[in-house]
Structures are given as structure tokens and as C-alpha cells.
Amino acid sequence: MKITNLGTSTQASFYVATALYKQMLHKKESKLGLATGGTMLDMYESLVTLLDKNQLDVSQVETFNLDEYIGLTAEHPASYHQYMNHILFDQYEGFDPLKCHLPNGAAEDPECEAARYESLLDERGPVDIQILGIGQNGHIGFNEPGTPFDSVTHCVDLTESTIEANSRYFDDKADVPKQAISMGLRSIMKAKRIILLAFGEQKKEAITQLATGNITPDVPATILHLHPNVEVYVDDAAMPDLS
């Protein structure tokens, strides 16, 4: 798998924003698989700039987010719904709210909601470009180590390391939800093209395992070796020492 070092996170973010922009430019009804998290902030900012400067019509674009916390309503400030509104959907006019999908973390029956989301992906997909971040433990979406490669959208118990990493978005670590609904590894692999982004020293080990390790559920991102169209972009700090 080719890992491309684009130098700085700003450069890499702009590069990936351009890929999304071009996708939407060439296909009005593009389907995008979107991620949240710190890694994506600059990328969405660059994307909004590109959309704004070029006034691209995005009314037919359909988006599918990877995951949402169980127990948070769409209005909760730390929900991924709010993250997406704040960073993209409220920043550029024209996205159709009915075409911007995330799992409903407040659903009465989360298992049922996970099944509904997977059916939606099957009906509306496949996704043209799936954007991914990566956890320090190699998770993609919220597919933690040990998640079966054939998993579809499901309810997940978050690991202690993920709860710790995400506690920065909450007032108190105790407020971080312990569960999420996440696209499964098989759901992610259905995308036509996958772009993974990783920045910073703390992601170097996960990227090294992706670059050099076996394909194993212990490092969920290694499933990407089995996909024909994957790009991985990193900054200097996350670039493995491959010599």
C-alpha cells in the first residue's frame, strides 16, 4: 500500500478537499462517505473555501457519515451531527439535509437503527469516495481492534483508549458515551475509492502497522489492503520510517 507524505497537514488537507471537490464537480449526484474528528477539520475548511469560491451546486450530493455516539441527540453539541453541521453543512449553503445521513444515536433501538443505516447504504450506495481517519489503535470508523472484517453497521463498545482520545471534545471524561453506531468494515469496503488521512506523531505507529503489518482484525485499518482503490495521505510526523 502506498503511503504518501504530503508534508504538512495543511497541504494534505487541501489535497483531499480538492479530490472531494473534483468528485462533486464531475458528478452532481456524488455520494460521499464522511468522517469526523480532529484530523478532518482543515480538510472541511478547505472544502468549504473551494465550494464557496466556485459556487458549486451540491444540492444533489448525498453524504453518509461513518458513525455517531449512542445516547446523544442530533442537537447535542458533541454529537457528530453537530460536528458536521458546524464544519460543513452550515458553512456552505446548498446541501440538502434530507441527503445528509448519519446514524441516529438517539434511536430507541440502536440495533434497529444500525440495520436501517446499513440498508440505506445498500439502497443508495455505493459511495464514490469514502474519507477515513484512523485511531491510534488502528480503528477506522469505530471499528475497534477485533472487529470482524465482514461486519456491517453495528453498535460498538468503545475502547478505553478511544474514550480517552475523544474526551477532549467533552467537558468531562465521564460524559463521553461508551457506545456508538458505526459503519462496519464490510460497509466501508463497499466504497469505490477510499482516502485515509493521518496527521501527527501519535498516528505514526498505526500508519507503520498499516504499511508493514499483516492484514489482521487486530489492526482494523489493515483490511484496506484488500481494497483495489485506496490512498493514504500523511504529514511528516505520521510518516513511518520505512527504510
Return residues touching ligand F6R (CB under 6 A).
35-39, 66-67, 133-135, 139-142
Q: How far, in Å, CA of 79 to CA of 87, rounded?
A: 12
Q: Which of 113, 139, 143, 231 is catalytic?
A: 139
The yes-or-no answer on residue 139 being catalytic is yes
Which residue's CB is nearer to ligand F6R, number 37 or number 105? Answer: 37
The yes-or-no answer on residue 67 being catalytic is yes
Q: How far, in Å, CA of 46 to CA of 164, rounded?
A: 28
Note whether 60 and 25 are within 8 A (CB).
Answer: no
Which residue's CB is nearer to ligand F6R, number 47 or number 134? Answer: 134
Nearest Cα residue to 220 out of 184, 173, 192, 191: 184
Q: How far is the CB of 28 from ligand F6R (least distance, A)?
A: 25
Q: Which three cell numbers stand for residue 228?
A: 483495489
Q: Which of 144, 154, 231, 235 is catalytic?
A: 144
CA-CA distances (angstroms) from residue 191 to 69, 129, 224? 22, 6, 11
Question: Please, what's the largest Cα pairwise distance for the chain?
Answer: 51
Q: Which of 65, 104, 137, 166 is catalytic?
A: 137
Residue listed under C-alpha cell 471534545: 169
Note whether 162 and 144 are within 8 A (CB).
Answer: yes
Beta bridge pairs of residue 195: 131, 231
Helices 9-26, 41-54: inter-axial angle, 10-degree rounding: 40
Residue whose C-beta lies closest to ligand F6R: 133
The yes-or-no answer on residue 108 being catalytic is no
Strand pairing class (179-182; 154-157):
antiparallel
Q: How far is the CB of 141 from ligand F6R (least distance, A)?
A: 4
Which residue's CB is nearer to ligand F6R, number 60 or number 161? Answer: 161
Q: Which of 42, 62, 65, 67 is catalytic?
A: 67
Q: How far is the CB of 35 from ligand F6R (least distance, A)?
A: 4
Which residue's CB is nearer to ligand F6R, number 41 or number 56? Answer: 41
Beta bridge pairs of residue 230: 194
The yes-or-no answer on residue 205 being catalytic is no
Element (H, E) at 69: strand 67-69
Q: How far is the CB of 173 from ligand F6R (least distance, A)?
A: 15
Q: How far is the CB of 118 from ligand F6R (least distance, A)?
A: 16
Beta bridge pairs of residue 130: 33, 194
Which residue's CB is nearer to ligand F6R, number 24 or number 180? Answer: 180
Residues that are catalytic: 67, 137, 139, 144
